Structure 1
């Protein structure tokens, strides 16, 4: 499993090169081995024929001169690197002779004769025996004469061994040279062949690294393989370019739709501000002139004014979000975030006196930003904790700093946030009626406004929650870290 996983992690180029070289190496090794074995079998066959021929020659003079050191007679004499031995039926050597490479005839030693005697196979069946010393390995065969003598003839295997060794060395050099040539050639061929595929992969990686979730996106990356549609890689490249074109068109349509929606929300919010202000003014005017109004009418006027105020707040929130989405620049000035935390905590205590609102701050920390918007961030976070936690909940606001950022945390010991709601907590109109036992209505825009304002100040906001409470953490660059 580990080897297979390692193989799968290899690049396609490495797989092709390694696999091809391995197959070529196996082929060359098989061919070389077959060649050596075939030559060895052929040389052994010829050597055995020579041994048997030498045996036939050795039988001639044995009967006429069995006691001689070297067989005599009118026939051909021994060849170089051959031996002849005559044994009695009891296994005693009556004569032995070896002709070395210089043509000198020597007598075999008793140890060599013993090795020959024990190494014999069936008659006229060649076998191999190692005589040691300078003689080395011989191929020998025997035959029994009519007089009961055992005649042995043999021929050195020096030439056969030398030939096989030389061929093995030559084949090893040829295999190494061929493998080197194949490696260079295959590497170059695979590199050239996979160059278009690398281009496709590079294009896909560049596109994958681009954020496509929001904002105007223009995909200029293309593989550019339209001119080679006949190959598989060309088809993949052309398909990728077509896909990128469709994605770019879809993103452009999405951005156009978002721009239209933002413009509509901004225009509608702006246009609604005046009639809502008029409704509130007329409601207040009617309440001031209470002559002739009944109690139900008075309650109706109160409801009209309160709903107009709530709708006005909603319109203001929508208008703020639309402006932030459109990238409107915020006013930047030094803001003491610690002082801001103290002030908003006091306001929250006045609005929710049944909660505890401790503040933990050290030295003053200044950030560069819009003071009113940053105040709104804290107001929304504290108001969110006051609305959605039961009476007696402790809500702690702390201001610290780390790594060039001011860190603001709002922590409560309430019942926590529903995990399903936590995933979309900062989305617009995200509402969970059962989360945190909410008793009052909400537009679901408070935390989305927090996220938008913090993002506009180049900061981050996140939340951690469990059954023991929730913590909202806001990080904003300190004034001396802002560019």
Structure 2
């Protein structure tokens, strides 16, 4: 069956489900911001680590200095200009020793007695809990066992006291003692530096994100212009007619020294080749159309003469042999068919040349009544239905040509469906258009014929013979050409058991 899906079938582009791909602009901005964030993180971590190590070294030296000053409490020396009673060494004497800073911690164990404490910000000695004393004694014992009494180490005494950097010492009297300073000064300074680096880095990342977006947008403008040129060319109807392919990438975007310039230059060269190919194709089509128009015009007179002479001979009243009568009848019928073919070719050639059709109000209601009546007279083995609105519907166009459009559609339904098929014709209005629908319940249109349905000389059967006579394959091509010349559209929807042609024409 020589019918199909639609006059113009748009390609279906498959879409992948899931997250949309990132644009080049987003990738570049994210890459720049990500690298800056990574560099800022590395710089911050290294800076805080180096500062913490330097501050910890300084704290260790302060602890060692505090331990040396604590030797006065064990008779290792007397402070100058002070009346310092040594007596029994205790943690309080260590903490109250000369120049001991606030927060100093001390533990003294003379073999039988343990004294501990630390000074707060006001210089008051605060005692440690039993668990904290036990922890310090354990650390002191471990340091003595390992022989690391001259190396400071860290002890965590809980949230109420915090971490301390302590140094274990052995007094000349045989007593053991610990002297320490809080680590909070080191951690506080490192935390402040980390916070400053984080705030500055975050502000820098935000600023760089805005700047990178602006710079990348500016850098990608040439690529956007190339894309815009390609998009405009892709929207041109290149499949038929004369095409003016004047769009080109601007000269500033075709510098071969840049990546975008090479793309723009390659696109311009491709468009030049396409332009030449389109001009060559159009010239060839014009020659063919001119030949068809000239040939059709020249064949009208000989065909009319052949038909006239055959009719004159057959009706001359002279008695002719049966074979001669049959031959003259065949000559007459073939001349009629050839005349129809020539007229169709000539009409298509004139439409291709862009000749304007007549523009006058056409009563589609009366026109469809005539067309369906003619189809019923020819195809009595089909069932014909007509659905018309109560009021006449006027379209702007060429009456004879529109009559030919609907006559071709009904003939198509009659020829390519079996006897008993129901053909329904309806007329409605939709907005500014009059819509005529021709629907049949035939076998439908094969899938492989839908793409070429409205092309010229398209046939659903490889043979050139139909039960009702020869088929030229121009019927639906004329339908599309005439409807498009009226600034309308023709579409078709087909499936087994239902085929529907839809013609929309502008109202008068």
2:53 aligned residue (41, 46, 56): 41
Q: Which moved more, 1:413-422 or 1:31-40?
A: 413-422
- Please give the alpha-carbon distance, in whole angstroms, between the structure 1 residues aligned to 2:360 and 2:32: 67
CA shift for structure 1 position 410? 1.6
1:412 aligned residue (429, 440, 465): 440
In the alignment, what sits opposite 1:386? 414
Alignment of 1:364-379 (within 5 A): 364-379=392-407
Question: Is the partner of 2:126 in helix, strand or coil?
Answer: coil
Provide the TM-score with structure 2 as the length reference.
Answer: 0.84
CA shift for structure 1 position 109? 1.8
Alignment of 1:237-316 (within 5 A): 237-289=264-316, 291=318, 293-316=320-343
- Please give the alpha-carbon distance, in whole angstroms, between the structure 2 residues aligned to 1:227 and 1:335: 55
1:108 and 2:126 aligned: yes
- Please give the alpha-carbon distance, in whole angstroms, between the structure 1 residues aligned to 2:200 and 2:310: 104
| 8 Å Cα contact 1:389-1:414 kept in structure 2 | yes
CA shift for structure 1 position 136? 5.3
2:451 aligned residue (398, 423, 426): 423
CA shift for structure 1 position 295? 2.2
1:444 and 2:461 aligned: no
| 8 Å Cα contact 1:59-1:151 kept in structure 2 | no
In the alignment, what sits opposite 2:154? 127
In the alignment, what sits opposite 2:191? 165
| 8 Å Cα contact 1:115-1:129 kept in structure 2 | no
In the alignment, what sits opposite 2:88? 66
Higher RCO (CA < 8 A, seq sep 6+): 2
Question: Cα deviation per residue 1:51-107 (whole Å; 9 max; x = unaligned)?
Answer: 2343344245326532457548xx9653454233313435x4346563x556x4x32
1:213 aligned residue (196, 218, 239): 239
CA shift for structure 1 position 365? 0.9
Change (3 A) 1:197 1:97: closer
Question: Cα deviation per residue 1:333-384 (whole Å; 9 max; x = unaligned)?
Answer: 1111111111111111111222222211122211111111111111111122
- Please give the alpha-carbon distance, in whole angstroms, between the structure 1 residues aligned to 2:18 and 2:258: 29
In the alignment, what sits opposite 1:191? 217
Aligned residues: 467
Question: Is the partner of 1:166 in helix, strand or coil?
Answer: helix
In the alignment, what sits opposite 1:22? 34
Runs (5+) with no aligned partner, structure 1: none
Q: Which moved more, 1:116-125 or 1:385-394?
A: 116-125
1:89 and 2:111 aligned: yes
CA shift for structure 1 position 25? 0.5
CA shift for structure 1 position 220? 2.1
Q: Which moved more, 1:179-188 or 1:408-417?
A: 179-188
Question: Cα deviation per residue 1:25-53 (whole Å; 9 max; x = unaligned)?
Answer: 01111111111012212222332233234
- Please give the alpha-carbon distance, in whole angstroms, between the structure 2 residues aligned to 1:289 and 1:331: 41
CA shift for structure 1 position 273? 0.3
Change (3 A) 1:393 1:177: closer
CA shift for structure 1 position 290? 5.3
Change (3 A) 1:149 1:204: same
CA shift for structure 1 position 330? 0.7
- Please give the alpha-carbon distance, in whole angstroms, between the structure 2 residues aligned to 1:68 and 1:89: 12
| 8 Å Cα contact 2:116-2:128 kept in structure 1 | no
- Please give the alpha-carbon distance, in whole angstroms, between the structure 2 residues aligned to 1:185 and 1:140: 50
- Please give the alpha-carbon distance, in whole angstroms, between the structure 1 residues aligned to 2:342 and 2:432: 36
Q: CA RMSD in A?
A: 2.8
- Please give the alpha-carbon distance, in whole angstroms, between the structure 1 residues aligned to 2:194 and 2:499: 79
- Please give the alpha-carbon distance, in whole angstroms, between the structure 1 residues aligned to 2:395 and 2:116: 115
Q: Which moved more, 1:267-276 or 1:163-172?
A: 163-172
1:118 and 2:135 aligned: yes
Alignment of 1:464-479 (within 5 A): 464-479=493-508
| 8 Å Cα contact 2:421-2:442 kept in structure 1 | yes
| 8 Å Cα contact 1:131-1:138 kept in structure 2 | no
- Please give the alpha-carbon distance, in whole angstroms, between the structure 2 residues aligned to 1:235 and 1:162: 57
| 8 Å Cα contact 2:154-2:163 kept in structure 1 | no
Provide the TM-score with structure 1 as the length reference.
Answer: 0.88
CA shift for structure 1 position 160? 1.6
Question: Is the partner of 1:399 in helix, strand or coil?
Answer: strand
Change (3 A) 1:67 1:145: closer
1:234 aligned residue (261, 272, 284): 261
Question: Cα deviation per residue 1:232-261 (whole Å; 9 max; x = unaligned)?
Answer: 111101111111122122222222222222
In the alignment, what sits opposite 1:52? 64
1:174 and 2:195 aligned: no
CA shift for structure 1 position 157? 2.6
Change (3 A) 1:404 1:421: same
Change (3 A) 1:131 1:142: farther
1:200 and 2:223 aligned: no
- Please give the alpha-carbon distance, in whole angstroms, between the structure 1 residues aligned to 2:445 and 2:207: 68
- Please give the alpha-carbon distance, in whole angstroms, between the structure 2 residues aligned to 1:382 and 1:304: 27
- Please give the alpha-carbon distance, in whole angstroms, between the structure 2 residues aligned to 1:227 and 1:467: 54
Change (3 A) 1:149 1:380: same
Runs of 4+ displaced beyond 6 Å: none
CA shift for structure 1 position 402? 1.9
Change (3 A) 1:54 1:421: same
In the alignment, what sits opposite 2:6? none
